A and B are shown apart, each in its own frame.
Chain A
Amino acid sequence: MDELRTTLQEEAIFESLARRARPGERKEELLFDLGLVSEHEFALEAAAKAGLPFAGLRGFEADPRLFVYLPLPIALRERVCPLLLVGDSLKLASVYPDPDLSYLERRFPNLRVDLTLAPRAELLRALDGVAQTL
């Protein structure tokens, strides 16, 4: 009974956290916001564990032309940012190793996507820069 109560409490907590306002925000981002987890270290560790490369985006300015492939609202929601296009391969920075890229798969089935993980704040800053130019 206590376990059930604890589970229900945790669900209630996560449910309330899930109602946070920013688009695409995941529950665990609370830990970033509270400073309990370093975003840079989280991205590095996630990259190491997932076998994906890591890229720091400090000072990086995203190329607005690349958002033809991935509209900005989807990029914001999925926490991804296109970095560069090489041939038919789009390199995407992502906060998480599992973004929903079904839009790209539907619209550009022949486009290959290479994921690289990046810290959340730096990625959102890059997207914000693009939002101001569009």
Chain B
Amino acid sequence: MGDALRHADDIEVGAQERARAIVASAEEAALKARADAHRRIEETGAQFNELLRMKDNLLETMRGVVGDFEHAIARVERGESLFTPPAGVPAAEPPAPVVQPPVSAPPPRIEYQPPPEPEPEPEPPPAAVQPVAAEPEPEREPEPTPPPLPEYVEPVAPEPVAAARSPRTAGPHDDQIFEPRVELDAGPFSDFASLSAFERALAQLAMVDDVYVRRLAEDRALIELTLSEPSPLLAAMFESLPYELDVRSANRSKLVLNVHAESTAGTR
């Protein structure tokens, strides 16, 4: 009986030792797992911070882009040129067209495979729905010279428009009433900034609902204007726009103008 009790005690002691060993090993494993989890949390936190930094970086870049645009728009609205080449500095070489090889004469227009609906010649349809493909190509002058890419310089502050504007006598087209859809052929625009400034000036006319540049080739733009109602567009342009306007032709739906900014910056 005594032997049996001793044997039972031995078994109990052995079992307790094994249990302690198991608990110790489990505690060690838990410790390791906890350390591992901490390490992973730290790594994840670092990655998260990295992502936040990347986001800040992207936001900063985008704010920079927005700031540049605002700055450029503000300059344009003040009538300053963004791309005027500095005096005495030759303008940069104009880049060659990407695909089109330089030619000395316009390519022969051998045949025209028209799109489904050819455009009637004398009176163009409303411009907003006029497909580009349906327009016959205007005859171009030989050797188109793309405008040079001048460098940016601080422009001279422009003269006040009112001071620069000289009184003009009424022209034969001033009282012309234009239809709500008007195709305006205007130029010359030496760069994007001058075209953009003209576009904005047009958009500020009270009667103008929409301004859409349909085409820009060389230095002339075809602009589609949508008026709120039939209006004396030309008279309003003469009255409000800070440009010298030279009317080449005008009818109820089409106007051809040469425009020159009245301030020092502009389209010349």
Contacts and interface: CB of A to CB of B under 8 A. Distances in A.
A62 B65 contact: no
A31 B65 contact: yes
Nearest to A85: B113
A93 B216 CA distance: 13
A37 interface: yes
Interface string B57-99: 1100110011001000000000000000000000000111111
Contact of A83 (B95, B116, B132): B132
A65 to B, nearest CB: 8
B115 interface: yes
User: Which of B132, B137, B149, B216 has the most chain A CB atoms closer than 10 A to its own CB?
Assistant: B132
A60 interface: yes
B192 A45 contact: yes
A106 interface: no
Nearest to B223: A56
Interface string A55-76: 1111111110000000000000
Contacts of B217: 53-54
A60 B133 contact: yes
B100 A113 contact: yes
B133 to A, nearest CB: 4
B158 interface: no
A3 interface: no
Contacts of A40: 213
B131 interface: yes
Given A37-B65, A59-B128, A54 B215 contact: yes
Given A49-B192, A55-B215, A84 B115 contact: yes
Contacts of A86: 109-113, 137
A79 B216 CA distance: 19
Contact of B213 (A54, A59, A98): A54
Given A86-B137, A115-B97, A56 B212 contact: yes
A109 to B, nearest CB: 13
Interface string B104-143: 0001111111011000000000001111110001000000
A51 B213 contact: no
A36 B67 CA distance: 10
A63 B213 CA distance: 22
Given A51-B97, A112-B100, A113-B99, A37 B69 contact: yes
* The 10 A-B residue pairs with the shortest CB-CB distance in the complex, in nearest-first order: A51-B146, A87-B110, A54-B216, A48-B192, A45-B192, A53-B217, A84-B133, A59-B129, A60-B131, A56-B214
20 contacts: A10-B57, A31-B62, A36-B62, A36-B69, A40-B213, A41-B196, A48-B147, A51-B96, A54-B216, A54-B217, A57-B132, A59-B130, A59-B131, A60-B133, A61-B131, A63-B115, A84-B133, A86-B111, A86-B112, A98-B98
Given A34-B62, A51-B146, 19 more contacts: A9-B50, A36-B65, A41-B192, A44-B192, A51-B95, A51-B147, A52-B98, A53-B216, A54-B215, A59-B128, A83-B132, A84-B115, A86-B137, A87-B107, A87-B111, A89-B107, A93-B132, A97-B98, A112-B100
